[in-house]
């Protein structure tokens, strides 16, 4: 495969001898991630496709990509900033979702650096978002670097500089995880602990109402590890909610612990660490008969997304942490994916 093609969607590999990750320059998308189970057996634990074509054709419901300029929903695709009203594409009626019709997930990013194997393999992607792209103000230069920092740990560093205007920026990594293997059925028997004791409840269109409510005594309480499927029947079609991450004392590389996902069958565990205030917990409610890698058919709840993020619709909610990046300033969002078995 050519290392450096500007405009062709490709898949690149990172391999440190223990874990293997495949990532495309189309949407900075993780297409495959293989980690060992308790017996050392590798399995690919992310939903996706074998080639770039289905991603480019729009068949992926945001499998594995980086979404932006603003992740999640913006109510009615409208916001005001510095006295100016902005209108965005309504690509998930009645709201704007994940950056609009052609967000960062549907762009070809430039490969700015790539070390395939050896010690700390990495790949760096860059993307330049023009002033007015998808209706957003100001130009933004974005960088995303995936690094295999140890045998079974991957780090993602996302940065974005607002070049000439204040603008909302909130990126998210939208991988669907299934620790039993991407082709193993649903994730309802996975257990999860979410280090968030509050959620931002939503209206009928999945937009936060502005409230911040405790999860205690509700089906949203994952402060202690429990089966994802245990109370899922009580929350409509499934979980698709932003958790307000607590600030536990425990830190790793300056990051706070967001979630611990575990699968009994394979004994695989994923611990996720981040530096941002929220995490969308999404149980693949809209996945329906997608034919993926090796002709595996992905149905409802085939994977779970743990999308660390700024709060959804924060640009319109003054009581939420601001997602506005001032002109000349830098947005920084790090995720640490720590696998074990």
Q: Which of 133, 134, 307, 338 is catalytic?
A: 307
**Interacting residues of 184 by C-beta distance below 8 A, sequence separation 6+:** 43, 178, 265
* Cα–Cα distance for residue pair 201/165, rounded to 1 Å: 31
Q: Which of 174, 182, 198, 333 is catalytic?
A: 174
Is 307 one of the annotated active-site residues of the chain? yes
Is 10 one of the annotated active-site residues of the chain? no
Enumerate the active-site residues.
Answer: 174, 307
């Amino acid at each position: 495969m050519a290392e450096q093609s500007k405009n062709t969607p490709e898949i690149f590999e990172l391999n440190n001898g223990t874990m293997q990750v495949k990532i495309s320059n189309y949407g900075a998308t993780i297409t495959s991630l293989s980690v060992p189970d308790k017996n050392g057996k590798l399995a690919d634990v992310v939903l996706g496709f074998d080639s770039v074509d289905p991603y480019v054709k729009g068949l992926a419901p945001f499998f594995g990509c980086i979404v932006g300029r603003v992740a999640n929903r913006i109510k009615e695709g409208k916001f005001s900033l510095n006295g100016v009203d902005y209108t965005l594409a309504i690509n998930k009626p009645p709201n704007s979702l994940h950056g609009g019709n052609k967000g960062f997930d549907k762009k070809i990013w430039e490969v700015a650096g790539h070390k395939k194997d050896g010690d700390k393999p990495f790949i760096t992607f860059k993307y330049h978002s023009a002033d007015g792209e998808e209706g957003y103000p100001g130009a933004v230069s974005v960088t995303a670097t995936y690094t295999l920092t140890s045998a079974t740990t991957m780090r993602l560093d996302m940065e974005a500089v607002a070049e000439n205007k204040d603008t909302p920026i909130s990126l998210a990594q939208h991988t669907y995880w299934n620790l039993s293997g991407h082709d193993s059925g649903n994730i309802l028997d996975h257990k999860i602990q979410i280090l968030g004791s509050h959620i931002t409840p939503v209206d009928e269109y999945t937009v936060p109402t502005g409230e911040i409510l405790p999860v205690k005594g509700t089906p949203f309480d994952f402060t202690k590890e429990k089966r994802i499927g245990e109370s899922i029947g009580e929350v409509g079609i499934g979980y698709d909610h932003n958790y307000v991450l607590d600030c536990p004392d425990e830190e790793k590389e300056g990051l706070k612990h967001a979630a611990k996902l575990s699968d009994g069958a394979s004994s695989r565990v994923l611990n996720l660490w981040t530096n941002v205030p929220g995490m969308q917990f999404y149980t693949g409610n809209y996945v329906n008969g997608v034919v993926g890698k090796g002709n595996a058919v992905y149905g409802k709840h085939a994977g779970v997304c743990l999308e660390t993020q700024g709060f959804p619709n924060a640009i319109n909610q003054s009581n939420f942490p601001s997602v506005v990046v001032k002109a000349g300033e830098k947005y920084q969002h790090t995720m640490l994916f720590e696998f074990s078995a």
